[in-house]
Amino acid sequence: MKGGIRLSSLVLNIYPTFVDRMEKESGDRSCPIWLLVNSKYPNDIYDIWAPIMYEIQDQVFRKLHARIDSRNIYIRNAVSDIGRVPKTPNSWTARVAKETLMLRESVLEYQPKLLFTFGTITNEFVRRVFDRRPENGPKYWSTTNLGNEFERSIANFDITRTNWIPLNRRVTKSGKNLKDWEDSENYYRDIATRIAERIIENKDTLKIWI
């Protein structure tokens, strides 16, 4: 998309219920695309996902002449109270452990194909959901380590299972100068391109189309 990412009012109005009313969940659990957000940062749906989704839609339309039904994408808080999420590997509370089990059961029941997390805490929480060994708690997930995890998830993408795809929250520094905005747009475009490629490759399997 030449000239940078331009968010139309249509894109910005995709997720008003979740962001404005701070609901625990929004969308359809049977949708193959899930977004797990930090309840402390609900605007990640606007600030991070909306521009990525806009670019995905653009690339999908150019290749397939089709549109993804964004209204059905399932969005929920990773944990009901983000304050209970541990800061260290061994401080997982019983209540958060219970929520981990509940989300794991939901994932097994509905089997989403693309499950996106935003930032360090949601990423570490989903590591537990998938019963993977934690990496020194949320503090381990620097921008570089999250980026490496994203690369692995895309490289190992398998439509027959749930693909957990972590996204960075810290894209821009201040957003006060042109370079920050250009870096942000380049990041979103690159991420969206990689995701769109997997969606296009598996177009006949994914039930996401309008």
Q: Which domain holds residue 25?
A: 9-201
CA distance 4 to 77: 30
Residue 139 banded pLDDT, cuts 50, 70, 90: low
| Residues 50-87: tens digit of each pLDDT | 999 999 999 999 999 999 999 999 998 887 665 555 55
| Average pLDDT of the chain, as a whole number | 78
Q: What three-state secondary structure class fits 174?
A: coil
Confidence grade of residue 120 (pLDDT, cut at 50, 70, 90):
confident
> Which range is most confident: 11-25, 93-107, 121-135?
93-107
Q: Does some domain include residue 208?
A: no
Instruction: Please report, for the domain that includes residue 121, its CATH number.
Output: 3.40.470
147: which residues sit within 8 A by CB, 6+ positions away? 168
The highest-confidence range among 10-14, 96-100, 146-150, by mean pLDDT, is 146-150
pLDDT tens by residue, 5-40: 344 444 444 554 444 444 568 899 999 999 998 888
Domain membership flag for residue 210: no
> What is the per-residue pLDDT for 206?
96
Question: Confidence band (pLDDT; 50, 70, 90) for 3?
Answer: very low
* Main-chain phi, psi angles of 161, to 5 degrees: -140, 175
Whether the pLDDT of residue 91 is over 50: the answer is: yes
Residue 38 lies in a domain: yes
**Does residue 207 fall inside a structural domain?**
no
pLDDT of residue 83: 55
Q: How far is CA 8 from CA 14, 46, 112, 180, in A?
A: 10, 12, 27, 21
Of 16, 67, 66, nearest to 42 (Cα)? 16
Which one has a higher pLDDT value, 152 or 146? Answer: 152
Whether 56 is in a domain gets the answer: yes
Which percentage of the chain shows pLDDT scores above 90?
A: 42
Q: What's the structural domain count of the chain?
A: 1
4, part of any domain: no
Band of pLDDT at residue 122, cut at 50, 70 and 90: confident
For residue 4, the model assigns a pLDDT of 38
The more confidently predicted of residues 25 and 110 is 110
pLDDT tens digit string along 158-193?
A: 999 999 999 987 655 445 555 555 666 788 889 999
What's the whole-model pTM score?
Answer: 0.80
How many residues are there in the chain?
Answer: 210
